[in-house]
Amino acid sequence: MTNILVTGGAGYIGSHACKALAAAGYTPVTYDNLVTGWQDAVKFGPFERGDLLDRDRLDEVFAKHQPAAVMHFAALSQVGEAMSQPGRYWANNVTGSLNLIEAATAAGCLNFVFSSTCATYGDHDNVVLDENTPQHPLNAYGASKRAIEDILRDFEAAHGLKHVIFRYFNVAGADPEGEVGEFHRPETHLVPLMLDAIDGKRDALTVFGTDYDTPDGTCIRDYVHVCDLVDAHVLGLKWLEHDKGSRVFNLGTGSGFSVMEVIERSKSVTNREVPYNIGPRRAGDCTKLVSGSTRAEAELGWKPGRSTLQTMISDAWRWHQNGHYDR
Ligand code: UDP
């Protein structure tokens, strides 16, 4: 079996990636410090607890498991927190990733799949974003991810580190079989917060701003089902295995939905009211982030078959009602 080192494998996207890797015949080795991840979510391969800032521990794990590739999900990823604590984002995301990239290179593990973000683009006046759109991030989260992309390019030039960079749009939904799902503490993401508000697990949702330059005044995002997203990662791994070279792919469907449209769809999926109130804008939010590219579909053969709002919300709702993690 081929080992793949999955940083952040105990988190939302990483745990779904581990499931997809196992289904494709790989052994996912999770490396996670459990600061935002859940040990319960590690179900599909070995677990190595460790921090990206701990280079000795990384070297030990590379030596023990001899991974053929790295999938790097571990990161701090909240826009609001990135605005108020930028230092944490630069230290954890950039210094942590640099350690990982150096450890991988030193171990001769030269295939690297990286989770980047559409937040690296920033605001572009309502245009759809393709991989060549200039990157002008509005917050330290996006800026830290852009910096890591630059590090990967430098390490390719110097050390031959081949990489696939995925710039995610908004990830939602959950494993339809309910083995893993989305569970953050604290939760900051729209869909799980809304589902909590629907069944009274928390107060009403606050809509962050209704004065954006969009048809209903709320921000527009391109939502992708987590299972589709991780399928792209397996395709990205195969891309590297076939020596196709380093490449950047947007992972979005090209369909944007406003916060109000997500609320409306959640009402019809759950058959319940969504309690919400209107609040001010959240610092660091872009007006519209929609992928304008079909590169992943054309070149990787990616088929995002579950990424309708209907399926994403109903899969998230099923997990919300039945699933949870303990540490
Ligand atoms: N949002 C909102 N209320 C919330 C959380 C999010 O109105 O309590 C909005 C947010 O402003 C953005 C969209 O929902 O336009 C998606 O936000 P999320 O935090 O889920 O993902 P992000 O876009 O930050 O990656």
325 pLDDT more than 80: no
Range of the structural domain that residue 123 is part of: 2-172+223-251
Please, are residues 148 and 114 in contact by the beta-carbon 8 Å criterion? yes
127 pLDDT more than 80: no
Q: Does residue 177 fall inside a structural domain?
A: no
Q: Which residues are catalytic?
A: 141
Confidence of residue 64 (pLDDT cuts 50, 70, 90): very high
Confidence of residue 24 (pLDDT cuts 50, 70, 90): very high
| 3-class DSSP state of 35 | coil
- Whether the upstream peptide bond of residue 186 has omega within 30° of 0, thus cis, is yes
Q: Separation of 220 CA from ligand 1 center, angstroms?
A: 9
Q: Separation of 141 CA from ligand 1 center, angstroms?
A: 14
27 pLDDT more than 90: yes
Lowest-confidence region among 25-29, 174-178, 181-185, 320-324: 320-324
Q: Measuring from atom 20 of ligand 1, which residue has the nearest CA?
A: 189
Q: Separation of 317 CA from ligand 1 center, angstroms?
A: 17
Q: Separation of 114 CA from ligand 1 center, angstroms?
A: 23
Say how many domains are in the chain. Answer: 2
Give residue 327's pLDDT.
52
> Is the pTM above the cut of 0.90?
yes
ipTM of the prediction: 0.98
Do 65 and 168 sit in the same domain of this protein? yes
| 3-class DSSP state of 43 | coil
Give residue 292's pLDDT.
80
Counting ligand 1 atoms within 8 A of each CB, the residue from 117, 144, 259 with the most, and so the one to mutate, is 259
Q: By C-alpha distance, which of 187, 146, 228, 223 is closest to 36?
A: 187
Give residue 326's pLDDT.
67
Do 195 and 228 sit in the same domain of this protein? no
Q: By C-alpha distance, which of 143, 150, 312, 125 is closest to 229?
A: 312
Q: Measuring from atom 10 of ligand 1, which residue has the nearest CA?
A: 208
Do 275 and 244 sit in the same domain of this protein? no
- Where do the DSSP E strands lie in the chain? 2-7, 26-32, 47-49, 69-72, 111-117, 162-168, 170-172, 205-208, 220-225, 247-251, 256-258, 276-279, 288-289
Alpha carbon distances (Å) from 272 to 172, 206, 291: 19, 17, 30
Q: Separation of 189 CA from ligand 1 center, angstroms?
A: 6
Q: Say how far apart CA 42 and CA 68 lie, in whole Å.
A: 20
Q: Does residue 184 fall inside a structural domain?
A: no
Counting ligand 1 atoms within 8 A of each CB, the residue from 118, 202, 282 with the most, and so the one to mutate, is 282
Q: Does residue 213 fall inside a structural domain?
A: yes
| pLDDT, the chain, mean | 95
Do 149 and 217 sit in the same domain of this protein? no
Give residue 40's pLDDT.
94
- CB of residue 167 inside a 6 A radius of ligand 1: no
- CB of residue 170 inside a 6 A radius of ligand 1: yes
217 pLDDT more than 80: yes
Do 108 and 206 sit in the same domain of this protein? no
Do 167 and 311 sit in the same domain of this protein? no
Q: Measuring from atom 15 of ligand 1, which residue has the nearest CA?
A: 219
Can you say how many angstroms the Cα of residue 60 is from the centroid of all Cα atoms in its chain?
26
Q: Say how far apart CA 43 and CA 174 lie, in whole Å.
A: 15
- CB of residue 3 inside a 6 A radius of ligand 1: no
Q: Does residue 283 fall inside a structural domain?
A: yes
pLDDT digits (tens, 9 = 90+) for 4-23: 999 999 999 999 999 999 99
Give percent of the chain with pLDDT exceeding 90. Answer: 87
